[in-house]
A = this chain, B = another copy of it.
Amino acid sequence: MQKVVVEIEKAAHVLKLLGDKTRLTIMAILKKRECCVCELLEVFDMSQPAISQHLRKLKDAGLVKEDRRGQWIYYSLNLENELYDFIQEILQHIPDQTENIRKIEETNPTLRCGC
């Protein structure tokens, strides 16, 4: 992978955002699968606003983007982020999220209404 040098303030900001277990896990999940808030709720023992607030921070920093589809807002990694390669390299070291994704797909919150 190409070595891209990143401004130190920007790097510190991204690292701080990833330096929270919940956000780091969210990022690792989104790497594999776009998700809406109600799906992420299955993974974390936390209120809906707490998840929304973490996603807000990630969105404000450009780490994720949102895509509204009807009632749901789907979050995914923002491939256009200036620091995307840097973030990807970090996420490569984070454990596989298959188990958490299983939790989401088992319950399948967005399927309750048959969408």
Q: Which residues of A contact B (CB under 8 A)?
A: 3-9, 11-21, 24-25, 28, 86, 89-90, 92-96
Contacts and interface: CB of A to CB of B under 8 A. Distances in A.
Interface of chain A: mostly helix, strand, loop or mixed: helix
A85 to B, nearest CB: 8
Contact of A12 (B3, B24, B96): B24
Number of copies: 2
18 contacts: A3-B93, A4-B93, A5-B94, A5-B96, A6-B94, A8-B21, A8-B24, A8-B25, A8-B94, A12-B24, A15-B18, A15-B19, A15-B90, A16-B19, A18-B19, A19-B19, A89-B90, A90-B90
A32 to B, nearest CB: 14
